[in-house]
């Protein structure tokens, strides 16, 4: 499967899937500018349902544990520097609502409001 989220019938504990995308970014201008190109691969596993409390309320949510891998090359001042990194994240999806919480490396995003 090559989708960001699985089909509704696949939301079962233990289900896993991956997706990937290419990226390109540029910062700065002229000779001091830098460009980075590469591939991001995200490996996901649905670990089960848990109760999640966020400002928008309490939800029974599917927990998705992900490992995000970046393989890239940064081009700066005539040099090419390989960049390889990986970071975990956890996301929580409530049925009929969608994403209610995501915990990443050094950051957390919470759903603050919801109208059914």
pLDDT digits (tens, 9 = 90+) for 5-52: 888 888 999 999 999 999 999 887 666 688 999 999 999 999 999 999
Whether 116 maps to a domain, the answer reads: no
Q: Which of 42, 43, 41, 48 is nearest to 16 (CA)?
A: 43
pLDDT, one tens digit per residue, over 49-74 is: 999 999 999 999 999 999 999 999 99
Assigned domain for 2 exists: no
Look at residue 6 and tell me if it is in a domain.
no
Answer yes or no: is pLDDT of 116 > 70: yes
Is 96 within a domain?
yes
Give pTM, 2 decimals: 0.82
Asked, for residue 92, whether it belongs to a domain, the answer is yes
* Residue 69 covered by a domain: yes
Mean pLDDT of 84-93: 96
Residue 115 lies inside a defined structural domain of this protein: no
The pLDDT score that the predictor gives to residue 5 is 86
Cα–Cα distance, 94 to 114 (Å, whole number): 11
Predicted pLDDT at 33: 80
Calculated CA dihedral for residues 44, 45, 50, 54, nearest 10 degrees? 0
Cα three-residue angle 29-32-33, rounded to 5 degrees: 50
Say what the pLDDT of residue 82 is. Answer: 96
Whether residue 105 is contained in a domain is answered as: yes
**Which phi and psi angles does 115 have, rounded to 5°?**
-120, 115
Number of structural domains found in the chain: 1
| Domain containing residue 56 | 18-110
């Amino acid at each position: 499967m090559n989708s960001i989220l699985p089909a509704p019938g696949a939301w079962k504990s233990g289900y896993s899937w991956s997706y990937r995308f290419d990226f390109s970014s540029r910062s700065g201008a002229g000779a001091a500018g830098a460009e980075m190109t590469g591939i991001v691969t995200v490996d996901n596993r649905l670990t089960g349902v848990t109760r999640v409390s966020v400002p928008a309320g309490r939800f029974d949510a599917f927990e998705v544990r992900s490992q995000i891998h970046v393989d890239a090359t940064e081009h700066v001042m005539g040099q090419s520097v390989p960049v390889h990194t990986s970071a975990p994240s956890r996301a929580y999806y409530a049925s009929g609502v969608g994403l209610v919480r995501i915990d990443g490396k050094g950051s957390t995003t919470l759903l603050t409001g919801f109208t059914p």
